[in-house]
Homo-oligomer: A and B are copies of this chain.
Amino acid sequence: MAKVIFGMTMSLDGFVNDRNGSVEKLYPDLDALRKSAILQELIENTGAVVMGRNAFAMSEDPDWFAGNYEFQVPIFVLTHHPPKKMPKQTDQLTFTFVTDGIESAIRQAKAAAKAKDVTVIGGASTIRQCLQAQVGDELEVGIMPVLFGSGLRLFENIGTEEIQLEKIRVDEIPDGGTNLRFRVAR
């Protein structure tokens, strides 16, 4: 059964971008990150991706994903406004724009992933929705060695209940980062 892996990389003080909206200091060397064992393993285990509208919009050219994005798998984009023109697709990478919420996106992604995992790529709002809707099995948080002081917080307004986690692994990631993976208690 496919697991749902969700999470993001943040500064030690919990921000997913700095006061100017930049994520540069969280990913100072994207090439090293893309070649890292942990990302390769994640890519190998991922059968489908759910991403928020903002993560999708990070690429200025929506046709860039096909052939270039780390994950060449079916991608389910959470959005209220699907683009008028469908981005380029391939046999491996397809796009589905999901307008009826995170549960629906996860359900469709699980079906597409078959025995593999579903990986949820942020932004922060998408990660929060996973927590609120309790659709995530494993939370993966990368912690980078910087204090931003302000910016966009990952864990803000995540709900009114405490959520117990169980740490299942710790990995070093490039540029002094530390990746923590937790199972989410239900």
Give the interface segment out of A50-58, A61-69, A164-172. Answer: A164-172
Within 8 A of B (CB), among A162-186: 162-167, 170, 172, 176-178, 180, 182
How distant is A19 from chain B, measured CB to nearest CB, in Å?
Answer: 8
Number of identical monomers bound together in the oligomeric complex: 2
The residue in chain B whose Cβ has the minimal distance to the Cβ of A15 is B155
Q: In which size bucket is the chain A interface?
A: 20 to 34
How distant is A138 from chain B, measured CB to nearest CB, in Å?
Answer: 12
The residue in chain B whose Cβ has the minimal distance to the Cβ of A13 is B155
Residues of A within 8 A of B (CB): 12-14, 18, 25, 131, 139, 141, 143, 145-149, 154-155, 158-167, 170, 172, 176-178, 180, 182
